[in-house]
Amino acid sequence: MKQKRMAVLFLVTCMLAGCDYNERVGIEETMTEPVTETNDMSAQWKEASTTPFGRYPQTVTYTLAKEITEDNSKLPLGESYEDNAYTRLIREVINAQNQDVYENSGDSYYNGVYMMVTSGEIADVMVVSEEIMYQMQEKGMLEDLTDAYAQCASEKIKEIYESYGGEIFGNCTFGKRIMAVPETNISNGPNLCWVRKDYLDKLGLDIPQTLADVEAVAAAFVEQNVGCTETEPNIGIACNAGLTGSSGTASEFTMDLEFAAFSAYPQMWIEKEDGNVWYGSIQPEARDALLHLHELYENGVLDPDFLIRTQEDIADLIIKGRCGIFFAPWWAPNNPLWKCREVDANADWVPCLIDNTGVNATRFGTQKMTGNYVVVRKGYEHPEIVFKIISVMFDYMRYSYDDPEGEFELYYRQNVDPTARPLSINVDYNQALNICYENLCGVLNGEIPASELELLERSYYQVCEQYLENPQQATAESWSGYASRIAACSLLSEGNIIQQVCLFPRIPSDLMMEWYALEDLEQEVYLRIIRGEVGIEAFDDFVEQWKEKGGTQIEAKLENVKDKQLEE
């Protein structure tokens, strides 16, 4: 009797124990959290998806393709692209978190994104060039953002976009639906000439006023090999192989001013008086400009190896002191000049507004009002997230957030690169540069109290104050803040500037292949001419070829499109 009882008991125990064991073994497998929807929760979700600052009840993680820069965008030690002041603020306010699935810098980033688009494996959110945005729209990869903009862009953000005249959404609106978020390109004004005063002083030269002065100074630098060794000589004027800011954004090391001196605007479309558009690169003015540039190259005024160098290479040369003069926008101190100054405290870079007209004025072609685009993968559950993030970063953070631990002020002071932001774009008023300059001057003059400044202005104000206290001993960061926001901006606001309005139309997709070929052709001809591999006659051939191989067609189409756009 007893034995039977024991046996049964024993067996039962074994079975129970067996079940338990199996279960425990499987415990390590990850379990996904079940989403429990309560009434309260779904109300929260609804609010979060329809307002700029509504907080998601559960963290929404989105995959991101991320453009980065070398040296971690100058973020403080220990911070990453998924964990820094920006991402933390976004998480705090709206409970969104980025998960970087692709990180790369410069052109490589765009190549990589292009490959992602081609393969079809894209992230939830990506920052892409305009071209890639068009491709994605063609492939139907973009999510409609019209409602998201209406509901989740804050009032201020909408105001900012409207400061560009409403056309800013022109290129990303298809069939009256907004399919991408444009980055705003604030009016940066013409490029300035940045020159090392310490080199000028060494050679006893004056600050250049005209283009001729600039060229003379550069020639002198090269001849006297100022600040350099024989094996690593001075390169003259740094030059980018792209020659001009073709994307319509202000770029460093470009020759815009040289071209504009001849009223040439290569790679830009200009509207003629008769309403037609013409393409700057094939105009006779460009021919003259090319000839001049070729001369500069021959005389060694331009960097002889400019073809091979990447932007980073040029920056490297500047830091090493092998370049003492170049053309760049007002923000050159942020990148790369502050580094140069850090390495060599004697590097005394000053900005100059250059007269390239002969009438004490600076002529330049306006830039595109958009830069890159933020796109959302079609089918993603939270398309509004991009506008929410933008509202947090460019409205809340700048104007409402009081930055209790001074994280962002630190970023501005230390010139943390904008690529530190999860969405590495900028959204600001058209006249943002001017606004900031006038506010800063107002405070420095004592007209406005410092407390009225918004976050960015406040940070720069502190930096400028620091610099002005003791310019000789100032840190590189505070110098760069002052040099960019005050020194450079004062030239822009007080100078005599002539704008040539440029257009940046979208090339019709059916002519894209022809357009690429034309672009390649243009680049080849231009560079060969400058380098002297071919004579200036090649330009004429080029113009003819350009027209034949689709240029005229494109011109015609663009006029049609432009008319259509005006009607919309």
Partner 1 sequence: MGFFDNLQMSKKLIFIYLLTGLLPICIVCIMFFSQMTDVLQQREINNLAVTFEREAESLDTELRLRTRMSDYIAFNRTVGIILDDMDQNNFDMYQRLVKEFDPMMDSVKYFYTDITQVSIYMKRDIISHGNYLLPYADIAEEPWAELENDGIKWYADQENRKILLIRSMPLMDEGGLLYVSMDYDRLLRKLKLANVGSYSVFIYEGDTPIYEYMAGTSGGQIGFAQFQEIKEEQEDSFVVLEHPLAQTQYQWTIGCVMSKDQMTSPLDTLLKQILLIWGLCVALSLGALLYLAKNISVRVKYLDNCMKTVESGNLDIQISDTRKDEIGDLARGFQHMVTELRRLIREVYESQIAQKKYEMTALRAQINPHFLYNSLSLINWKALEIGAEDISKATLELSRYYRTSLNKGKNVMPIREELDNVKAYLEIQEMFHDYSFDVEIAVAPDIMEYETLNLVLQPLAENAIHHGIDQLRDRKGVITITGSKEGQEIVLKVTDNGNGMSQEKAESILQNTSPGYGVKNVHSRIQLQYGESYGLIINSVEGTGTEIQVHFPVVEQS
Query: Which residues contribute to the site for partner 1 (CB under 8 A)?
Result: 2-3, 6, 9-10, 13-14, 16-17, 20-21, 24-25, 27-28, 70, 101-104, 106-108, 111-112, 115-116, 241, 304-305, 307-310, 312-313, 316, 524, 527-528, 531, 533
User: Which is closer to partner 1, CB of 136 or CB of 260?
Assistant: 136
Cβ contacts of residue 408 below 8 Å, gap of 6+? 85, 397, 401, 455, 459
CA distances from 549 to 265, 270, 458, 541, 559 (A): 21, 20, 53, 12, 18
CA 372 from centre of chain: 7
CB of 22 to partner 1, least distance (A): 10
CB of 535 to partner 1, least distance (A): 14
Question: CB atoms < 10 A from the CB of 298, how many?
Answer: 13
User: Which is closer to partner 1, CB of 25 or CB of 77?
Assistant: 25
CB of 319 to partner 1, least distance (A): 13
Cβ contacts of residue 120 below 8 Å, gap of 6+? 141
What whole-number distance in Å separates Cα of residue 157 and Cα of residue 427? Answer: 8
User: Which is closer to partner 1, CB of 320 or CB of 557?
Assistant: 320
User: Which is closer to partner 1, CB of 189 or CB of 266?
Assistant: 266
CB of 519 to partner 1, least distance (A): 12
User: Which is closer to partner 1, CB of 235 or CB of 554?
Assistant: 235
What whole-number distance in Å separates Cα of residue 161 and Cα of residue 383? Answer: 19
Structure tokens at 112: 């990589």
Alpha-helix runs per DSSP H in 281-431: 284-298, 311-320, 338-343, 385-391, 407-413
Count Cα neighbours of 119 within 13 Å in the Cβ-side half-sphere.
9
User: Which is closer to partner 1, CB of 514 or CB of 524?
Assistant: 524
User: Which is closer to partner 1, CB of 4 or CB of 564?
Assistant: 4
CB of 168 to partner 1, least distance (A): 30
Asked if residues 293 and 263 have their Cβ atoms less than 8 Å apart, the reply is no
Give the H or E element holding residue 106. helix 106-119
CB of 528 to partner 1, least distance (A): 5
What whole-number distance in Å separates Cα of residue 321 and Cα of residue 341? Answer: 10
DSSP assigned state of 286: H
CB of 389 to partner 1, least distance (A): 23
AA letter at 436: C
User: Which is closer to partner 1, CB of 112 or CB of 508?
Assistant: 112
CB of 372 to partner 1, least distance (A): 18
Asked if residues 86 and 103 have their Cβ atoms less than 8 Å apart, the reply is no
CB of 116 to partner 1, least distance (A): 8
- Give the relative orientation of helices 512-531 and 537-546 as an angle to the nearest 10 degrees: 180
User: Which is closer to partner 1, CB of 107 or CB of 201?
Assistant: 107
Percent helix / strand / coil, the chain, rounded to 5: 50, 15, 35
Residue 96: strand pairing partners: 60
CB of 199 to partner 1, least distance (A): 22
What whole-number distance in Å separates Cα of residue 77 and Cα of residue 288? Answer: 50
In this structure, are strands 192-196 and 349-352 parallel, antiparallel, or unpaired? antiparallel
CB of 554 to partner 1, least distance (A): 22
User: Which is closer to partner 1, CB of 114 or CB of 401?
Assistant: 114
Cβ contacts of residue 77 below 8 Å, gap of 6+? none
CB of 297 to partner 1, least distance (A): 12
What whole-number distance in Å separates Cα of residue 221 and Cα of residue 443? Answer: 39
User: Which is closer to partner 1, CB of 101 or CB of 219?
Assistant: 101
Alpha-helix runs per DSSP H in 204-310: 211-224, 256-261, 284-298
In this structure, are strands 173-174 and 349-352 parallel, antiparallel, or unpaired? unpaired
Q: Looking up tokens 């840190």, which residue turns up?
A: 475
What whole-number distance in Å separates Cα of residue 238 and Cα of residue 340? Answer: 15
User: Which is closer to partner 1, CB of 5 or CB of 564?
Assistant: 5
